[in-house]
Amino acid sequence: METGLYFGSFNPIHIGHMAIANYLVEFTSLKQIWFVVSPHNPLKQKSSLLNDYQRLEMVHRAIDDDPRFRASDIEFKMPKPSYTIDTLTYLGEKYPDRKFRLIMGSDNLYFIHKWKNFKNLLDKYDIIVYPRPDYPADRKRLPVLSNYGERINQINAPLMEISSSFIRNAVKEGKNIRHFLPEKVYRYMDEMNFYKK
């Protein structure tokens, strides 16, 4: 089964994440998408992250009972910091019947050369790239597209300008952002007073 791996901190997961996932599972060959909650992205500050299991709980609530999606805590059990290539290798061994494809925003293509074993990753795995504001994925600006273009599939998903940092800052400022979040995620965040301080 073709399965997309959507890695992220999901701090918090919001309607932009869900809209991209919905597009991918309906308009590409992917049959299912796994939201892989990262405990610590080596390229990001850890201090702003909610507890790993609180973020995982929000992903579970966002997905609800939609069979097209799955929440994964696989990286919680792996050495820290987590690296995408290690997770892909582990999942490939654990689920040999699945063909995993990596999902990323075009902004990540600009930094993929900093990823652990990025050439090995690009040699072995197909990548689906969705557009991100201010990060056009064109060959002139991204040599990686010339070298690995056959493995990188750019899609015309709707451009989402919502970010988790926008959500966190808005909550901190006391703004009502309930319609930027899946309803069950909003209720959980509100009950737990996440991001308010």
pLDDT digit string, tens, across residues 140-165: 777 777 777 788 998 999 998 899 99
pTM of the model: 0.92
In percent, how much of the chain has pLDDT > 90? Answer: 72
Rounded average pLDDT over 8-25: 97
| In the predicted structure, residue 170 carries a pLDDT above the cut 70 | yes
* Residue 101 CB-density burial (10 A; 0-12 exposed, 13-18 middle, 19+ buried): buried
- What is the residue-wise DSSP string for 66-105? -TTEEEE-GGGGSPSSP-HHHHHHHHHHH-TT-EEEEEEE
Per-residue model confidence (pLDDT) at position 30: 97
Written as six digits, the tokens of 104 are: 């990323």
| In the predicted structure, residue 123 carries a pLDDT above the cut 70 | yes
Q: How many CB atoms lie within 10 A of CB 156?
A: 9
First vs last C-alpha separation in the chain: 43
**Residue ranges per domain, the chain?**
2-161
Q: Which residues contact 182 (CB under 8 A, 6 or more apart)?
A: 13, 14, 15, 18, 61, 62, 64
Per-residue model confidence (pLDDT) at position 133: 86
Is the previous residue joined to 81 through a cis bond, with omega within 30 degrees of 0?
A: yes
Written as six digits, the tokens of 120 are: 């090995």
Torsion angles phi and psi, residue 43, rounded to 5:
-95, 5
pLDDT digit string, tens, across residues 38-69: 986 656 665 678 999 999 999 999 999 999 99
The CATH H-level superfamily of 2-161 is: HUPs (3.40.50.620)
pLDDT digit string, tens, across residues 77-107: 998 888 999 999 999 999 999 999 999 999 9
